Structure 1
């Protein structure tokens, strides 16, 4: 048996939406992007959202929205994908790496308190693997220190913490729809906020600085009622990027949004089967203190002191694995931003990601569990 690590849950619903795009023959930034943004607002519970072509673009533009002075510092967890920190560098800001909580792997509020200085302007909590950061405590901390809060929700869609959707606690929420995430648009991302004035200007930033979407201008090209030769006219007043979402991606997103709650529940069922299966293991423990109520987990993982031996054991049985993630200060890119992160450095060599996607069958999960238990017994 061979079991892959992740797999997008796509089918006829997405194909039908894509056919509509082909029939209309408008594939770029268009009306479906606007529709997806509106339906996202309804689902996530914010008044304003801006679709982009990746979660990385979302993080980049989210920081751009604040126009922080060059060289200002941004607090970032040490364990996350590089995009959280590269977004800081894109904006000519300085990342400050915060150690993680040993149990939850979220940024440590104790270390956050040690690392914050008057030069810090923002904090970027990451709901790693879909496990929520304690946002009530983080928001209180941010208010005390006058920090903007940009939630990195690349690993969650629909997760709820204390009755409130993740991505709506901070000033801006950033989501990823990369092909293996909780939901996908092939590649894509979303910026959302309860403060429209903060993110609406980003529509120009995502569209190379252009102040009008092409599809909104194109109707005037042949409209005899619009007797002007300037229907083509636009201006560029801000530095923008080619970060726009397109209608093909939005079409997939609209279909995915209809089944995200089912996909979240299916992942929860699989995680519960994993947890039950490894409950008696002495040398393999769950990666997080999984709380499946109102959750949206993207990763199921374990901790094992002999992680690399376990990787080889599972590989021999056709089971794919991964490691999410190496502490960022270990990457050469961040050598100039080294920071004391003893917990992250101690924990990450034990971390292992296991297969998790909605189409994973009970028999396949049992196969993985049996392989884990076999390794544990001969540890």
Structure 2
């Protein structure tokens, strides 16, 4: 039995994932501001509003609107060069210093003049790419065109810099429902002169729920999730979101179509065994049709329940069903293997039962 289930599981794992289409859409990559040691960051507030994307031409379903503010303290008036990673943002960031808009500069021209040399954690790589080191031996290669660069004329004392933009969320193309991943790089804070608390606030639509978070459990107030980070976490911010599911759909998805089919098949195998055993126990000499019928039906019923489970779960989910499950139909090609293995297994069981219940020889006096 263990061997049979192992073979079925291995074959289903391979076949159910046989998919040549792209299974996942990457979201935007972006980060905190990269500061040098010239200023102290007293505190930071990251407000993220997940909103529906109403653009007819957009491939996205939701956007994350970021409004990030930094309260920093400078020892003197100075021109402070700042930058952050901004890969595949949905719009040009709006940056303000103490309420006034700051223009984003052409980093390629600046880079040609080696203006990034002051950042010890940014090193030239090749062509227009640089390596940003967030650990001694670990770095991220980024194109110059994916860095937002600007100069801030900070004043002595308190300053507030705000950065506002829209970012896309990562999402899957296959499965029962479309889930979303919100990612944000926190590693630049490791290079700040000082580290104040980071306040994070996430607001999501009512039809969505938070599935997991890399920064621990938040305080929850309706659809608002809040965190306060008093130290730099080991991981960057990653939050998974998904649609709120009907209770029955949650249970069936947790079991999975394969699990549902296995549970049903175990029941049919038990019934098959009882029928075969009863035939041998009754000492009938006729052909054991229960054995043959079961060998044919049990694998067929397994596949019938397996494929039907997908349709059942999609039906329960209704409009939120993604209704895309990869090339699961390839699973049907394992049916002959299932027939052979289950047939040999059933035949061996029948031989054992036949030997156990064979008629006892009468004692001749």
Give the structure-1-normalised TM-score.
Answer: 0.19
Comparing both structures, which one devotes a greater share of its residues to helix? 1
Comparing both structures, which one devotes a greater share of its residues to strand? 2
Give the structure-2-normalised TM-score.
Answer: 0.20
